[in-house]
Amino acid sequence: MDNFDWSIPALGGDDENAIQVPRPAPRDDAPVPMQEDFLPIADEEETAFQQLIRHWMNERHAPDILPGQELLLGRLLDHIGKQTNDVRLLREDPDSSEDEHFRIMLVQTEVERVKFVIRSYIRTRLHKVEKYARHIMKTPELHQRLSKGEMEHVHRYALIVESHFSNAVLRGLPEEQQSLDENMAFMPPMVPAPDKTIAVFAFARTACPPVHLPDGTTLEMTKGQIVLTPYHIVEHLLLREDVKLV
């Protein structure tokens, strides 16, 4: 039926259309709905765990530290606690059937896997926090991205690294050379900062507003599109959660 429908207007069209009779247009049309099927259906219905996985992947791919997801983590941890409790009760219940025991095992495995992602997420952030500790200390905008615990750790970590340097090296130097962050011409800065020019793969979760590229052109991503781009180009889209890094 479909084929029949489109062919009639094509044949009955005027000159312009007549030339295009063997046009591949219907072929183009056909896969479109299919593509939509393959897209992650309804992002709104992301479960908490799927959200965490998205943030986890973002965090692992982005060079910079991203806003922490404390609320999400808290919710998941609560959920895990509840699940673990339920599992324990069910296991101790002598009336649980064989079937239920099997399901308990599945739940337990899943819980372990959620824990793995949580752990990896926290550790990834921890790694960045330590790597850029001094940079974070100097940049107040970054402070609100960290949780209270992370912020405290940054302070402590920057302090112990500094005191290690001063004990091991700086104290032995003449006074004129003891500073830790001097910016000399022709030398890279002493405080490492994230390199935002590295390339990342960004996946558009929704249609994105156009972004300006350094060469003057603009890039407008449609939903489901994947681009390879320097991180700083998509940084604000990532913070708005319009794209995710894959």
Q: Which of 10, 57, 72, 130 binds other proteins (CB under 8 A)?
A: 130
Cα–Cα distance measured from residue 206 to residue 103, given in angstroms and rounded to the nearest whole number: 36
Which among 14-22, 171-179, 227-235, 238-246 is the span making contact with other proteins, rule CB under 8 A? 171-179
Which among 20-28, 30-38, 183-191, 219-227 is the span making contact with other proteins, rule CB under 8 A? 183-191
Answer yes or no: are the C-beta atoms of 207 and 223 closer than 8 Å. yes
Closest alpha carbon to 171 in 183, 161, 163, 181: 163
Smallest separation, CB 204 to other proteins (Å): 27
Q: Which of 33, 187, 215, 216 binds other proteins (CB under 8 A)?
A: 187
Smallest separation, CB 109 to other proteins (Å): 5
Q: Which of 10, 53, 126, 191 binds other proteins (CB under 8 A)?
A: 126
Residue 120 in contact with other proteins, rule: CB under 8 A? yes
Residue 71 in contact with other proteins, rule: CB under 8 A? no
Residue 72, both tokens: 């999400």
Cα–Cα distance measured from residue 225 to residue 205, given in angstroms and rounded to the nearest whole number: 8
Answer yes or no: are the C-beta atoms of 224 and 39 closer than 8 Å. yes
Residue 25 in contact with other proteins, rule: CB under 8 A? no
Interaction residues for other proteins, span 76-95 (CB under 8 A)? 77, 80-81, 84
Residue 169 in contact with other proteins, rule: CB under 8 A? yes
Q: Which residue is it, tokens 């009779």?
A: 21
Answer yes or no: are the C-beta atoms of 65 and 146 closer than 8 Å. yes
Q: Please, which residue, 90 or 161, has the CB nearer to other proteins?
A: 161
What is the DSSP annotation of 111-176? HHHHHHHHHHHHHHHHHHHHHTHHHHHH-HHHHTTS-HHHHHHHHHHHHHHHHHHHHHTGGGS-GG
Residue 199 in contact with other proteins, rule: CB under 8 A? no
Beta strand extents in the chain (DSSP E only): 199-204, 211-212, 218-219, 226-230, 243-245
Closest alpha carbon to 197 in 223, 228, 166: 228
Q: Please, which residue, 73 or 219, has the CB nearer to other proteins?
A: 73
Chain positions contacting other proteins, by CB under 8 A: 77, 80-81, 84, 105, 108-109, 112-113, 115-120, 122-123, 126, 130, 147-150, 152-153, 156-157, 160-161, 164-165, 167-169, 172-174, 176-177, 184, 187, 190
